[in-house]
Amino acid sequence: MSTPTPGGPADGLPELTTQRLLSVWQPDAAALLLIVVLGGLYAWGVFRLRRRGEPWPVARVVAFAVLGLGSLAVATMSALAVYDTELFWPAAVQNVLLDLIAPLGLALGDPLRLGVLALPERGAGRLRGAMSGRLVRFLTFPLVSTGLVLTTELCVYFTPYFETALRYGPLHELMYLHLLLAGSLFVLPMLTREQTLPAWCGHPVRAALVFLDGLIDAVPGIVVMTHGTLIAGAWYLHHAPAWAPDVYRDQQLGGGAMVTIAELVSLPFLLAILVQWSRADRAQRAVLDRRLDRELAPAAPVEGRPETAELTRPWWETDGGTVGQRMRRTPPGS
């Protein structure tokens, strides 16, 4: 990534209009390499499954490629990356794309499940072992991962981290990766079909956690928007172009964009959890229906046995659990 320096080429950037926001791009070698690697691995997994005749939903491929990798590209190579050293609000939008929207898109593609299905048995075992390791379990524990996202955002804006990253390109790239990883630690375990969370973290609990996370994600934007001191003020006061808004107004715009995007992202995230919940509930009902069909089916006829022979007893007459006892006390249909 080319980071402008005082007196450098970026000092003469033209005014950021809507047209330039949509059309100006600059290559970022590190981000492009990450996009190619992630996209290549995902495509390999899909190809492996389809070669074996196993389907993989097109919607997941689109979510991973467009929302996930697309957000990563926009954050690191679009006009947001070109102007982030001259204006605060593009940098703020960048960071939200990296720690909220890109992880959501990647998680909707369910790369963990795809990896387990596509890898050979030994490789799939190693991947599952890595996902169940103590360190990963700790980092992806819901309250820990939520805290990491919040701490990362506050650390970026309220320590010298952000201003130093503006000055040094390699640290800026590291900050990109830091934000992406922090967001992924919370979102990926929530949406994968692999069991990576504690057993008590079922779909109702996940929905509550996502709702809580949506509220927490708005905190950094609110703090940035209402903060009385400039963030990276020495840098932006020196680099602000003549056509730019007042630096305080610029910071308020950035904080407002952070709050808006964080709240908008929480809606599709919660919807994805609710859809998974509904599908899991339907699958459980189908299993129960098949069990009832088997247990209520008449026994196979036996030669010499009268036609009035007793049918197979229903499950509630033999079940020793609470439900079976209640069903025996209150016969079905009463």
Q: How far apart are CA 22 and CA 90, in angstroms?
A: 13
Average pLDDT, the chain: 84
Sign of torsion over alpha carbons 124, 125, 126, 130:
positive
User: Of 94 and 246, which is predicted with more confidence?
Assistant: 94
| pLDDT, tens digit, 9 for 90 and up, residues 48-100 | 999 998 899 999 999 999 999 999 999 999 999 999 999 999 999 999 999 99
Write the DSSP string, 76-140: HHSHHHHHTTT-HHHHHHHHHIIIIIHHHHHHHT-HHHHHHHHS-HHHHHHHHHHHTSHHHHHHH
SS3 readout for 41-64: HHHHHHHHHHHCCCCCCHHHHHHH
pLDDT recorded at residue 94: 94
Q: Which two tokens stand for residue 257?
A: 């964009």
Q: How confident is the model at residue 316 (pLDDT cuts 50, 70, 90)?
A: low
pLDDT recorded at residue 295: 67
Q: Which residues of 209-223 are buried (b: 16+ CB within 10 A; e: fewer)?
A: bbeebbeebbebbeb
User: Of 323 and 166, which is predicted with more confidence?
Assistant: 166
Q: Given phi > 0 = left and psi -120 to 50 = alpha, else beta, which region is 232?
A: left
Q: How confident is the model at residue 4 (pLDDT cuts 50, 70, 90)?
A: very low
Q: How confident is the model at residue 258 (pLDDT cuts 50, 70, 90)?
A: very high
pLDDT recorded at residue 291: 74
Lowest pLDDT segment from 110-119, 128-137, 190-199, 309-318: 309-318
Name the 3-class secondary structure at 276. Answer: helix
Q: Which residues of 89-113 are buried (b: 16+ CB within 10 A; e: fewer)?
A: bbbbbbbbbbbbbbbbbbbbbbbbb
pLDDT recorded at residue 184: 93
Q: How confident is the model at residue 304 (pLDDT cuts 50, 70, 90)?
A: low
Q: Is the pLDDT of residue 270 over 80?
A: yes
- For residue 259, how many other CB atoms are within 10 A of its CB? 19
Position 91: which residue type? A
pLDDT recorded at residue 61: 95
Mean pLDDT computed over 317-334: 60
Q: Is the pLDDT of residue 333 over 70?
A: no
pLDDT recorded at residue 317: 62
Global pTM reads 0.79
Q: How far apart are CA 211 and CA 9, in angstroms?
A: 44
Burial label, 243 (beta-carbon count in 10 A; 0-12, 13-18, 19+)? exposed
Write the DSSP string, 212-249: HHHHHHHHHHHHHHH-SS-TTHHHHHHH--TTSPPHHH
Mean pLDDT computed over 255-272: 88
Sign of torsion over alpha carbons 286, 290, 292, 297:
positive
Q: How confident is the model at residue 1 (pLDDT cuts 50, 70, 90)?
A: very low
pLDDT recorded at residue 180: 95
Q: How confident is the model at residue 111 (pLDDT cuts 50, 70, 90)?
A: very high
Q: Which two tokens stand for residue 82?
A: 């070109």
- The 8-class DSSP code of residue 25 comes to -
Residue 34: alpha-carbon gap to chain centroid? 17
pLDDT recorded at residue 284: 73
pLDDT recorded at residue 267: 86
Q: Which of 150-164, 233-247, 320-334 has the highest mean pLDDT?
A: 150-164
**Which residues, in sequence order, are CB contacts of 276 under 8 Å at separation 6+?**
191, 203
Considering only the C-alpha atoms of the chain, give the largest distance between any 2 of them, rounded to a whole number of Å.
102
Please give the share of the chain, as a percent, with pLDDT higher than 90.
40
Mean pLDDT computed over 312-316: 58
Burial label, 58 (beta-carbon count in 10 A; 0-12, 13-18, 19+)? exposed
Q: Is the pLDDT of residue 305 over 60?
A: no
Q: How far apart are CA 118 and CA 124, in angstroms?
A: 8
Lowest pLDDT segment from 24-33, 100-109, 200-209: 200-209
